[in-house]
Amino acid sequence: MTRFLKTAALVLALAVPPAIAGEVPMGDDGLHKPDWLKDSFKDLPEDHAEAAAAGRHLLLMVEQRGCIYCARLHDEILTDPQVEQLVRDRFDVVQIDLFGGIEIIDMDGEELTEKRAAGKWGVTVTPVLLFLPQDPPAGADAARAAMGVLPGVPDKDQMVRLLEWASAGGPETGQSLREIMGN
């Protein structure tokens, strides 16, 4: 009987689709690929203009292959129904690979690889979330234009507050990122 129960449990576990299990599919590059990621040429000024025209904000997510914290962010926080709905409704999300070789155009117009952009932005750990304002300063790269840069994995309640804060204009709300995060 015990062997039967173990076998039945294994069959059920394998039959549960990843979305129900809270796991986000992985791409060939080893990064998580939720279906709400923006299909982008990684021309950040263009991506920003498209987001702004749609009344949305541009969110850059810097990640890397094998990052356990990125996995936690995707599988535990971003799959929460409230968090996921906020992302889907209010943000265009562009994924940046910390060690990636894909050419991007930074907010200041510089063309460089994802890896060089991450270095330029001072990103050394993952995940890092960069929230861009509706009207970024001219000539600033993504990190300097961002209204908020968050390294690490916030808990679900912090993420909800962060997404609501960013979609309301961030600092324009009168609150700082530190206050929103409860630090």
Query: For the chain, which residues make up each domain, given as ranges?
Result: 55-183
Cα–Cα distance between 92 and 89 in angstroms, integer? 9
pLDDT by position in tens, the chain (length 183): 555 444 444 444 444 444 444 689 999 999 999 999 999 999 999 999 999 999 999 999 999 999 999 999 999 999 999 999 999 999 999 999 999 999 999 999 999 999 999 999 999 999 999 999 999 999 999 999 999 999 999 999 999 999 999 999 999 999 999 999 986
CATH number for domain 55-183, candidates 1.10.490.10, 3.40.50.300, 1.20.1440.230, 3.40.30.10: 3.40.30.10
Where do runs of H (alpha helix) occur along the chain?
2-15, 18-21, 44-53, 68-72, 81-90, 114-120, 142-145, 156-167, 177-181
